Amino acid sequence: MVIGAGVAGLYQLHRMREMGMSVRAYEAGSGVGGTWYWNRYPGCRFDSQAEIYQYWFSEELYKSWQPSERFPAQPETEKWMNYVADNLDLKKDIQFNTRIKSAHYNENTDRWLVTTDDGEKIDTQFLIACCGMLSAPLVNRFPGQSSFKGEIHHTGLWPKEGVDLKGKKVAVIGTGATGIQVIQTIAPDVGSMKIFVRTPEYVIPMKNPKYTKEIWAEWGDKFHDLKKRVKETFAGFDYDFEAPPWNDLNKEERTEILEKHWNDGSLSLWLATFPEIFFEEDASQEVSEFVRKKMRARLNNDPKLCDLLIPKDYGFGTHRVPLENKYLEVYLQDNVEAVNCREAGIEEIVPDGIKTTDGKIHEVDVIILAVGFDAGSGALSRIDIRGRKGQSLKEQWQNEIKTAMGLQVHGYPNLFTTGAPLAPSAALCNMTTCLQHQVDWISGCIDYAIKHGKQVIEASQEFEDDWVRHHDEVANKTLVVKTDSWYMGSNVDGKPRRLLSYIGGVGNYHKKCDELAKNGYPGFLMS
Ligand code: NAP
């Protein structure tokens, strides 16, 4: 059984079918797409280039799809996922509109009993959770939300029919990657907009050229190279850290490299210049200042706006860096007000709008909650998952979030996970690269067990502990762990602090996984 019909779930279903398994996928939405099904907010698009935000198992599929631009928007990506599902005839094996409520492991039968919201019970030997990394939206963020007279929407649950914002008084809460896309997209249409800013982001202007048939054919010619390349790089992109060591260059030489990547209009400034920005305070400061300078100029050096919208207390790249399109310029519009949540935070939602701690009521017609997700662990914690001895995964993760390479959790035999904590993921990986790799590894592991007459696969405690130790050792060398954001779980009250994504590099992670497979999956006990 597969949970989810997003990027990972679709591929996992395909792989299991190819292996001749009896398999069915269950999806809460009414269609395929996962992230691309739920996040239909204005401006939603990915920041990985179309040529690498791809499935790699079929050259024909790759070549037969024509992306319209370098960074296509949500509607196109949702269409692409439907194209993939239809091409492989996957939908007949997906039960839509079905949310999984619980999954309990039976130690007598070595099987999982899974229950849906509608009370349907499914008995399965292998349970593969492809529930997404950023799929548990923080919906009830503020007291009083239900009292609001107007419309209130979380970006991750955006209505299919859209929301009419034309001429309306709109509030946007949150300025992460999502809020930024929403703000820049709705700015020309709204009557007025109040943007509630607490923590600003370093931003890079996106360059998004159209992709013609000729351009796509050129990418198609590189299919095999790209397929190989994305598995080897630090973040699963086609680019990788390429600059000479930081200290071998003078400031002018470094700036020249930064300028070149800035002009690429992609995430390469972050993921393909100097790895030192993740480790060394000096490098971090210099690159941060490079970006700040660009941002100040766009804000006309307005001291109040610069103070509010340019990060000062954390380094470039220790949060997810968003690409944007004229986002900062929105704040220069006469009908836009930036509300400084650092001076007066949001106290509650009231019938007419948003009340801040200075007693002010900001009256609006529509509130957009771009306040993020319970990342990594949230999707699984929201299901009542119980492993050996009735142990609850949710309770366990309330104390400490641990996994065996993000692929299994000790004590939960035959439960496999993709997009789970402690594997490379959205924070530091092009998601299609990581998810496909995890699906391939899981499929290989199950195939191996079956071929060796084994019924049960479970990561050992020792293997899991070793992985957590290694994960932390790598993470603790970086500046990322010193910064608050969803990367560290600090956006959710009470969530135990740990870097959710493995930061040792996608290439290294792949090597480690491949090594395990080659050696018969040591650390994953089979019986
Ligand atoms: P996020 O990065 O967690 O941002 C949430 C925002 O809401 C932050 O600015 C946060 O401020 C603010 N917020 C939360 N509670 C608040 C409160 N009580 N008062 C004021 N502000 C509050 O979530 P996200 O923007 O949805 O992005 C999550 C991830 O999804 C991204 O990092 C990225 O990996 C992925 N994503 C990708 C794309 C893309 O590919 N282009 C687009 C969208 C999302 P604080 O930081 O101060 O808490």
Coil/strand/helix, residue 368:
strand
The residue whose CA has the least distance to atom 14 of ligand 1 is 371
Per-residue HEC secondary structure of 325-348 comes to CCHHHHCCCCCEEEEECCCCCEEE
Residue 211 lies in a domain: no
Contact 138 CB / ligand 1 (< 6 Å): no
Place of tokens 């009292």: 147
Q: Which helix (H) or strand (E) holds 525?
A: strand 524-526
Residue 126 lies in a domain: yes
Place of tokens 């560290």: 488
The pTM is what?
0.98
Give the atom of ligand 1 at the shortest distance from the alpha carbon of 39.
43
Contact 348 CB / ligand 1 (< 6 Å): no
Contact 486 CB / ligand 1 (< 6 Å): yes
> Tokens at residue 66, please?
């024509």
The residue whose CA has the least distance to atom 29 of ligand 1 is 177
Burial label for 182, CB within 10 Å (0-12, 13-18, 19+), is buried
The residue whose CA has the least distance to atom 15 of ligand 1 is 371
Give the atom of ligand 1 at the shortest distance from the alpha carbon of 490.
48
What pLDDT is stored for residue 242 in this prediction? 86
Residue 431 lies in a domain: yes
What pLDDT is stored for residue 426 in this prediction? 79
Give the atom of ligand 1 at the shortest distance from the alpha carbon of 44.
42
- Phi, psi dihedral angles at 325 (to 5 degrees): -135, 100
Please give the distance, rounded to the nearest whole angstrom, from the Cα atom of residue 44 to the centre of ligand 1.
13
The residue whose CA has the least distance to atom 32 of ligand 1 is 320
Instruction: Assess contact for 439 and 433: CB atoms under 8 A.
Output: no
Alpha carbon 39 to chain centroid distance? Answer: 12
The residue whose CA has the least distance to atom 23 of ligand 1 is 372
In sequence order, which residues have a C-beta less than 8 Å from that of residue 11 and are 6 or more positions away? 55, 57, 435, 436, 439
Residue 143 lies in a domain: no
Contact 126 CB / ligand 1 (< 6 Å): no
Alpha carbon 220 to chain centroid distance? Answer: 26
Please give the distance, rounded to the nearest whole angstrom, from the Cα atom of residue 154 to the centre of ligand 1.
11
Residue 66 lies in a domain: yes
What pLDDT is stored for residue 258 in this prediction? 98
Query: What radius of gyration, in Å, describes the C-alpha atoms of the chain?
Result: 23
Of the residues 196, 371, 434, which should be mutated to test ligand 1's pocket, given the most ligand atoms within 8 Å of the CB? 371
Give the atom of ligand 1 at the shortest distance from the alpha carbon of 345.
19
> Tokens at residue 187, please?
């700015």
Instruction: Assess contact for 193 and 335: CB atoms under 8 A.
Output: yes
Report the distance separating Cα 498 and Cα 475, nearest Å.
Answer: 9
What pLDDT is stored for residue 519 in this prediction? 98
Residue 402 lies in a domain: yes
What pLDDT is stored for residue 113 in this prediction? 98
Contact 439 CB / ligand 1 (< 6 Å): no
Q: Which of 181, 221, 230 is nearest to 201 (CA)?
A: 181
Question: What are the start-end ranges of the H helices in 230-367?
Answer: 251-262, 268-271, 281-298, 303-309, 327-330
Contact 201 CB / ligand 1 (< 6 Å): no
Domain count, the chain: 1
Instruction: Assess contact for 158 and 39: CB atoms under 8 A.
Output: yes
> Tokens at residue 189, please?
């249409």
Task: Give the CATH number of the domain where residue 403 resides.
Answer: 3.50.50.60
Residue 369 lies in a domain: no
Instruction: Assess contact for 12 and 418: CB atoms under 8 A.
Output: yes
Please give the distance, rounded to the nearest whole angstrom, from the Cα atom of residue 198 to the centre of ligand 1.
10
Residue 519 lies in a domain: yes
Q: Look up the domain containing 391 and give its range.
A: 2-136+374-526
Alpha carbon 122 to chain centroid distance? Answer: 29
Contact 74 CB / ligand 1 (< 6 Å): no
Contact 340 CB / ligand 1 (< 6 Å): no
Place of tokens 């009414």: 30
pLDDT (tens digit, 0 to 9) for every residue of the chain, 527 residues total? Answer: 999 999 999 999 999 999 999 999 999 999 999 999 999 999 999 999 999 999 999 999 999 999 999 999 999 999 999 999 999 999 999 999 999 999 999 999 999 999 999 999 999 999 999 999 999 999 999 999 999 999 999 999 999 999 999 999 999 999 999 999 999 999 999 999 999 999 999 999 999 999 999 999 999 999 999 999 999 999 999 999 989 999 999 999 999 999 999 999 999 999 999 999 999 999 999 999 999 999 999 999 999 999 999 999 999 999 999 999 999 999 999 999 999 999 999 999 999 999 999 999 999 999 999 999 999 999 999 999 999 999 999 999 999 999 999 999 999 999 999 999 999 987 789 999 999 999 999 999 999 999 999 999 999 999 999 999 999 999 999 999 999 999 999 999 999 999 999 999 999 999 999 999 999 999 999 99
Contact 411 CB / ligand 1 (< 6 Å): no
What pLDDT is stored for residue 358 in this prediction? 98
